[in-house]
């Protein structure tokens, strides 16, 4: 029995990134041996165990064979005859198929270290095409490493295009699409996730509402980048910069402009009313991928109200209060910050505007603080009762905003 460190821990160490999780593969062992050594089984489809002290994952070396469509349709085989190279061969990318011995020596049969040096995301073997999730995973790795100059190998892109053409991507279950998308939105450059999916044709299949934005023009004086799809890439990247790792804000940024794909052609490049036209496609995406309720709710609000935020400095105090009420911000004050960051990402996610100021956010923060300071107690103490309390509070809040 021999144990090797594998996968992300080896890759990240070679990239100079702090290693968070360590996974190990065990060669030459049977499940009974692992149990006798005190390891706790956790794997459902194949033997994975937790170390009795460190609780890190140890998986028995395995091979896999495709038995049907989709990413569930695999038969796994583990026994002491499965070699380390057999196990590494089934992995997605060469940079994830590097193993490390206890003394630190690398075992790299597929050139992963070389591809790390060359900054290339390359598939390990033709078996890559058997698992449609790998299309999403490669796109997610593109989002993770685009800022380091990584690119997808042309032969890997060709394989991904073939998977889309063969209908493999059609068999992805909603939960897995959302899981990979959510992770991509926590990376440094989620725009690269969209580009990778679009380059292989998967964006059209999985997110037709987003794919439809590409080629749709916007007014150059407001959007020097012109293309609505490029703008979306820039907005999700700006959201990742303003709120690192926050997929809630990232999702709102991702779908905030879906209405622009529905603008009548005779109206282009103007997009009057796109914030309302976008509500239906935002709901469609959220429903299709079973997006968490708070993600879906904030995405609808950002879509509907982001133009109000952009014009905040010109709004009447009553309209500002109405914005807070539509956000249900007095009951959910945490929404204010998420909403404002998503709106700022939209404003700064434009060509040449990444460093521009967004004073609207600070004004709305101050306005919300002023309005929130008004409480019902002071009116009850004055003898105000029933619906009159709400009316009095609303007037006081408008006055507080007006006083800024």
Specify the pTM: 0.90
Domains along the chain with CATH numbers: 1-121 (3.30.460.10)
Kindly compute the dihedral angle of the four CA atoms of residues 308, 310, 313, 319, in this order, to the nearest 10 degrees. Answer: 10
What's phi and psi for 358, nearest 5 deg? -135, 75
Read off the pLDDT of residues 186-228 as tens digits, 9 standing for 90 and up. Answer: 999 999 999 999 999 999 999 999 999 999 999 999 999 999 9
Residue entry with tokens 């091979």 = 63
Integer Cα distance of 235 and 249 in angstroms: 11
Please give the radius of gyration of the chain, using alpha carbons only, rounded to the nearest integer.
26
Residue 393 has pLDDT above 90, yes or no: no
- Which segment of 85-89, 160-164, 278-282, 390-394 scores lowest on mean pLDDT? 390-394
Classified as helix, coil or strand, 57 is: strand
pLDDT at 38 over 90: no
What is d(CA 325, CA 306) in angstroms, rounded to the nearest whole number?
A: 14
Query: How far does CA 281 lie from the centroid of its chain?
Result: 18
| Proportion of the chain above pLDDT 90, given as a percent | 76
Q: Above 60 in pLDDT, residue 69?
A: no
Listed residue (305, 275, 192) closest to 240, CA to CA = 192
Average pLDDT, the chain: 92
3-state secondary structure of 178: helix
| Per-residue model confidence as pLDDT tens digits over 301-331 | 999 999 999 999 999 999 999 999 999 999 9
């Amino acid at each position: 029995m021999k144990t090797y460190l594998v996968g992300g821990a080896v890759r990240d160490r070679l990239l100079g990134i702090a290693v968070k999780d360590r996974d190990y593969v065990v060669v030459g062992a049977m499940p009974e041996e692992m149990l006798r050594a005190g390891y706790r089984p956790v794997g459902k489809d194949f033997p994975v165990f937790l170390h009795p002290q460190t609780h890190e994952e140890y998986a028995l070396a395995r091979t896999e064979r495709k038995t049907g469509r989709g990413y569930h349709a695999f038969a796994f085989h583990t026994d002491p005859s499965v070699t380390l190279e057999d196990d590494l061969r089934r992995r997605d990318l060469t940079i994830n198929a590097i193993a490390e011995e206890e003394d630190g020596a690398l075992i790299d049969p597929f050139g992963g270290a070389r591809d790390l040096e060359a900054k290339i995301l390359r598939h390990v073997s033709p078996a890559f095409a058997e698992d449609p999730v790998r299309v999403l995973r490669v796109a997610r790795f593109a989002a993770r490493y685009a800022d380091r100059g990584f690119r997808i190998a042309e032969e890997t892109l060709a394989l991904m295009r073939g998977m889309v053409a063969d209908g493999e991507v059609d068999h992805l279950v909603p939960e897995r699409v959302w899981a990979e998308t959510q992770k991509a939105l926590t990376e440094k450059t989620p725009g690269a996730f969209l580009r990778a999916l679009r380059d292989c044709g998967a964006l059209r299949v999985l997110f037709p509402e987003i794919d439809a934005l590409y080629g749709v023009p916007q007014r150059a004086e407001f959007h020097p980048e012109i293309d609505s799809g490029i703008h979306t890439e820039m907005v999700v990247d700006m959201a990742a910069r303003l709120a690192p790792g926050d997929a809630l804000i990232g999702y709102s940024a991702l779908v905030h402009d879906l209405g622009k794909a529905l603008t009548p052609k005779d109206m282009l490049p103007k997009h009057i009313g796109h914030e309302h036209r976008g509500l239906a496609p935002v709901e469609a995406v959220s429903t299709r991928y079973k997006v968490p309720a708070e993600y879906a709710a904030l995405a609808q609000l950002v879509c509907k109200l982001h133009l109000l935020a952009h014009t905040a400095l010109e709004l009447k105090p009553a309209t500002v209060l109405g914005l807070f009420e539509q956000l249900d911000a007095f009951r959910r004050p945490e929404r204010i910050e998420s909403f404002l960051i998503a709106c700022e990402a939209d404003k700064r996610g434009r060509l040449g505007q990444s460093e521009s100021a967004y004073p609207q956010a600070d004004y709305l923060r101050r306005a919300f603080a002023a309005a929130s300071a008004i409480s019902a107690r002071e009116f009850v103490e004055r003898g105000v009762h029933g619906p009159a309390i709400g009316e009095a509070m609303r007037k006081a809040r408008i006055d507080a905003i007006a006083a800024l």
